[in-house]
Every structure is written in C-alpha cells, then in structure tokens.
Amino acid sequence: MKKTSHKNQRVNGEVQRELSRIISMEIKDPRICPMTSVTDVIVTSDLKYCKAFISVLGDEEAGKDTIEGLKSATGYIRRELARSINLRNTPEITFVLDNSIEYGIEMSKKIDDIMS
C-alpha cells in the first residue's frame, strides 16, 4: 500500500472537515439523516477524485436514503467545497456507506457476552 504524503494527509483532513460542515449545516434534504458523519476521506494525489466514507446512525434504510440524498446533492456539495477550499482542482466526490462503527459495536457486544 502506498504511503500518503503530508500534503495529501492535510488535503484529506481539510476536505473531511469541510464535507462534514456542508452536510450537517447546509444541506436541507429530508432523506439525509441528521446523525450523519464523514468518517474518512481519500483524495487522489492529482486532486481529481475523492472518496468520502459516510457513517449513518440508524438502520440500513436510513443509510441508503442518506447516500441517495448525498448523491443527488453532489453538485451543490462540490461547488461549496470549491468556495471554501482553495485547491487547484475540486475533486469529483463519490460517497460510500461506512458500516465500520456498527461492526465495531457489534464485535464489542460479542466480546462482552463471551467475557460474562
């Protein structure tokens, strides 16, 4: 696996902060769950593409609806990202549902059940 540079790590962190702000404060789509968070962002080194991992607190249907709402608002999100972050290129954003938090909670419960 390729090690990311310091510049790329800074860009990833800044894009993640701005995406979190835009999703939580500026998008008014009712399909997007209010308990949505951006868990990780990976921007390619040429700044053309971005993969945003989204975690939703709720059931599987809420996660699917949130991803659909974000996909429909991609143009608006990208425009706001271009306004707030001064990058050479504004990346094309792909939203991916991240179930790692739910998986961690499930594993923690199983470990607790075994220990007791």
Instruction: Assess whether pLDDT exceeds 70 at residue 2.
Output: no
pLDDT of residue 18: 95
In three-state form (DSSP H/G/I as H, E/B as E, the rest C), the secondary structure along the chain is CCCCCHHHHHHHHHHHHHHHHHHHHHCCCCCCCCCEEEEEEEECCCCCEEEEEEEECCCHHHHHHHHHHHHHCHHHHHHHHHHHCCCCCCCEEEEEECCHHHHHHHHHHHHHHHHC
Paired tokens of 93 = 């954003």
- Taking only the tens place, the pLDDT of each residue in 61-101 is 999 999 999 999 999 999 999 999 988 889 999 999 988 87
Start-to-end C-alpha separation, the chain: 39
Confidence of residue 3 (pLDDT cuts 50, 70, 90): low
Output the pTM of the full model: 0.83
pLDDT of residue 70: 94
- Taking only the tens place, the pLDDT of each residue in 6-52 is 888 999 999 999 999 999 999 988 999 888 999 999 999 898 999 99
